[in-house]
Chains A and B, each alone.
Chain A
Amino acid sequence: MTTITHPAPPTVIEETPSGAVGRRVPRHDALLQVTGRVVYGDDMHAAGMLWARAVRSPHPHARIAEVDLLPALSSPGVRAIITGRDVPRNRYGFTHQDQPVLAEDCVRHVGEAVAVVAAETLRQAEEAAARVMVRYEPLPAVFDPLEAMRTDAPRLHQDTNVAEHIRIREGDVEAGFAQADAIVEEEFTTGFVEHAHLEPHAGLAIPSPDGAITIYSSVQRPFLVAGDTAKVLAMSQNRVRLIATGVGGGFGGKNEMTFEPWIALLALRTRRPVKIVFTREEEFQATTVRHPYRMRYRTGVRADGTLLARAVEIISDCGAYVSWGASTLAKASIHAAGPYAIPHVKIDGYLVYTNNPVGGAMRGFGVPQVGFAYECHTDAVAEAVTMDPIAFRLRNALRDGGHLPTGQVLERVTLAETLRQALEMAEWRREGRAS
């Protein structure tokens, strides 16, 4: 086998009287990176390990009438198969505990996991997973949040498909609109975005003879994932040890528990380590996405460019389970009016269940969507009063002592100064308009 001699690691940067700040410092793991020695999820191996593969729903919404494991259990190399019934507490979630570890009574999105197979080889796990017989009774499905809000829409969970309604009020928007010289109304939509971190979800569970479990996983939040795993497995937290491997990109896509309880259960049952790696297809189909938003903006402005009132309605396509949907929508709603001083504000955010992929955390956490909307909208409002878009922003920008519609008072606000510096750097020129 090839002998590889690695060069020495870079010298530690010594503290100087002026400190290390402002110095170029190589990452502590730079050498590992460039020699291919960072350990990511798929790089974890253990002697005797089994490979796991999930069985996933082809239907967006269906009752699970029957699961027949026999054809798969007799498939070569299979050592164990788990379903929702094997999960001690098959329900979790951050703000809403609406999500099962493995679907039990019904599936609510294409790709939702129904069972997980562990076999001696990956090939055998794939073959066996294809042999698990699930009898589905398809249910009417809904893919448009507006349709999902109707009383006659298929219901995903109880009562209503509106999982959350965020309300933010300041002043009296109708009064504000009444005083306005111009009112601009626009609608903006954003689509699904998949994180597409280059490294797929991957990990390895190693059982301890005393019934404890160690899980290596490529996750952004090891303590949250450890805690949730312990909760759903009804184990005390000190018996679920989660070690985060190198993470080959996350961007919010590895912000929650996914396969960890599956491989833990399989490992404990088989008394063998169990490895899992998601395929790229599973990443696109079955992992979280950025929520699509439909945003309606209505703004009242005076002829001199002073913002008076803004009403915003956000409809967030939650997907099948809330996951990070409510926290994301809360953040988006808080930011929805933009970094501008507006005396009258009305913001309504609706989180709506659909049979679409589950919306989760993704860099920006709801703000990219509303940011896109309110900045495009600000240009339109500036145009409505024939004002230079930069001058308009400088006029209305929040400043020290200003506050968000939630009442939060802001300190050290550098928006106006930043904008001016950016302008200089971009050498903005506009003929005939005051800056």
Chain B
Amino acid sequence: MPSEVSFTLNGERVTTAVEADESLAWVLRERLGLLGTKIGCGTGDCGACTILLDGHPVCSCLLLAVKAQGRAVVTIEGLGAPGQLHPVQQAFMEHGALQCGFCGPGLLVSAAALLARDAHPSEEAVREAIAGNLCRCTGYAKIVEAILAASKDAVGEQSR
């Protein structure tokens, strides 16, 4: 028996019908047409599905969509400002941080959230912040490098 859920998605209010056991990741992709959030495992182990819930990174594959009621959700599509990349997005491009790119959306969301709460993180803090985002291609070196580079550019840059 589907129910309606309403929440703020990348700054705009949305309403959609969901079943109680559908994850937000599923609903974002299959109901709301936002395909940037990826599903790698469905069990909260890989972080590819990371989105911001009221500003906090969570695995959207574990978050039942019904629990998003009244909350603010930000996805990869909502990073940066219209027509302008978030500094982490820019840095990832410039530093060649991604290879296959599948981990990218989740990682970028985690990184953006980190810089919003800690404008000048140490390398240790960066690695801690992305510990829930697995990457099978890169070995993380350029990802960490890019996030540290972005931290020098953006001071408390907020996603919308």
**Are A30's CB and B100's CB within 8 A?**
no
Secondary structure at chain B's binding surface: helix, strand, loop or mixed? loop
A35 within 8 Å of B (CB atoms)? yes
**Are B101's CB and A280's CB within 8 A?**
no
Query: What is the CB-to-nearest-CB distance from A368 to chain B, in angstroms, rounded to a whole number?
Result: 16
Query: What is the CB-to-nearest-CB distance from A202 to chain B, in angstroms, rounded to a whole number?
Result: 10
Spot the interface stretch: A81-89, A243-251, A259-267, A393-401: A243-251
Quick one: which of A4, A5, A195, A246 contacts B101, CB cutoff 8 A? A246
Closest to B99 in A: A249
**Are A36's CB and B36's CB within 8 A?**
yes
Cβ proximity bits A3-43 to B, threshold 8 Å, 1 near / 0 not: 11111001000000000000010110111111111111011
Quick one: which of A6, A251, A280 contacts B41, CB cutoff 8 A? A280
A386 within 8 Å of B (CB atoms)? no
Interface centre among B14, B34, B90, B100 (most CB of A within 10 A): B100
Interface centre among A26, A35, A39, A196 (most CB of B within 10 A): A35
**Are A198's CB and B9's CB within 8 A?**
no
Quick one: which of A2, A34, A200 contacts B9, CB cutoff 8 A? A2
Hey, which bits of chain B sit against chain A, CB under 8 A? 9-12, 14, 29, 32-43, 46, 48, 75-78, 82-85, 89-90, 92-94, 96, 98, 100-105, 108, 134-137
Instruction: Give chain B residues whose Cβ lies under 8 Å from the Cβ of A279.
Output: 42
**Are A248's CB and B100's CB within 8 A?**
yes
Closest to A123 in B: B19
Hey, which bits of chain A sit against chain B, CB under 8 A? 1-7, 10, 24, 26-27, 29-40, 42-43, 195-200, 246-251, 277, 279-280
Quick one: which of B34, B39, B92 contacts A42, CB cutoff 8 A? B39
Closest to B47 in A: A198
CA distance A250 to B84 in the complex (A): 32
**Are A198's CB and B98's CB within 8 A?**
no
**Are B104's CB and A2's CB within 8 A?**
no
CA distance A251 to B137 in the complex (A): 9
* Given contact pairs A7-B83, A40-B102, A43-B35, A198 touches B134 in the complex (Cβ within 8 A): yes
Quick one: which of A26, A29, A39, A196 contacts B136, CB cutoff 8 A? A196
CA distance A246 to B36 in the complex (A): 13
CA distance A39 to B89 in the complex (A): 18
**Are A249's CB and B100's CB within 8 A?**
yes
Query: What is the CB-to-nearest-CB distance from B131 to chain A, in angstroms, rounded to a whole number?
Result: 15
CA distance A26 to B98 in the complex (A): 11
Query: What is the CB-to-nearest-CB distance from A316 to chain B, in angstroms, rounded to a whole number?
Result: 24
Query: What is the CB-to-nearest-CB distance from B134 to chain A, in angstroms, rounded to a whole number?
Result: 7
Interchain residue pairs with CB less than 8 A apart (6)? A2-B34, A2-B77, A2-B78, A7-B85, A32-B101, A42-B29
User: Between A and B, how many residue pairs show CB distances below 8 Å?
Assistant: 114
Given contact pairs A30-B96, A36-B37, A40-B102, a sample of 5 additional A-B residue pairs in the complex whose CB atoms are under 8 Å apart? A7-B83, A7-B85, A198-B38, A199-B100, A280-B42
Quick one: which of A1, A247, A251 contacts B33, CB cutoff 8 A? A1
Instruction: Give chain B residues whose Cβ lies under 8 Å from the Cβ of A24.
Output: 94, 96
4 closest A-B pairs by beta carbon, nearest first, are A36-B36, A248-B102, A36-B76, A33-B101
Instruction: Give chain A residues whose Cβ lies under 8 Å from the Cβ of B134.
Output: 198
Query: What is the CB-to-nearest-CB distance from A7 to chain B, in angstroms, rounded to a whole number?
Result: 5
Quick one: which of B12, B48, B83, B89 contacts A34, CB cutoff 8 A? B89
Instruction: Give chain B residues whose Cβ lies under 8 Å from the Cβ of A31.
Output: 93
CA distance A199 to B90 in the complex (A): 23
* Given contact pairs A198-B135, A248-B38, A36 touches B102 in the complex (Cβ within 8 A): no
CA distance A3 to B93 in the complex (A): 23
CA distance A279 to B43 in the complex (A): 10
**Are B136's CB and A197's CB within 8 A?**
yes
Instruction: Give chain A residues whose Cβ lies under 8 Å from the Cβ of B78.
Output: 2
Closest to B94 in A: A26
Instruction: Give chain A residues whose Cβ lies under 8 Å from the Cβ of B85.
Output: 7, 34-35
**Are B104's CB and A280's CB within 8 A?**
no
Quick one: which of B77, B96, B108 contacts A4, CB cutoff 8 A? B77
Closest to B12 in A: A2
**Are A1's CB and B35's CB within 8 A?**
no
Query: What is the CB-to-nearest-CB distance from B66 to chain A, in angstroms, rounded to a whole number?
Result: 16
**Are A34's CB and B98's CB within 8 A?**
yes
CA distance A419 to B48 in the complex (A): 39
Instruction: Give chain A residues whose Cβ lies under 8 Å from the Cβ of B77.
Output: 2, 4, 35-36
Query: What is the CB-to-nearest-CB distance from B20 to chain A, in angstroms, rounded to a whole number?
Result: 12
**Are A5's CB and B93's CB within 8 A?**
no
CA distance A369 to B109 in the complex (A): 37
Interface centre among B43, B75, B104 (most CB of A within 10 A): B104
Instruction: Give chain B residues whose Cβ lies under 8 Å from the Cβ of A197.
Output: 100, 102, 136
Query: What is the CB-to-nearest-CB distance from A48 to chain B, in angstroms, rounded to a whole number?
Result: 14
Instruction: Give chain B residues whose Cβ lies under 8 Å from the Cβ of A277.
Output: 39
**Are B136's CB and A34's CB within 8 A?**
no
CA distance A3 to B14 in the complex (A): 13
Closest to A26 in B: B93
CA distance A16 to B101 in the complex (A): 29
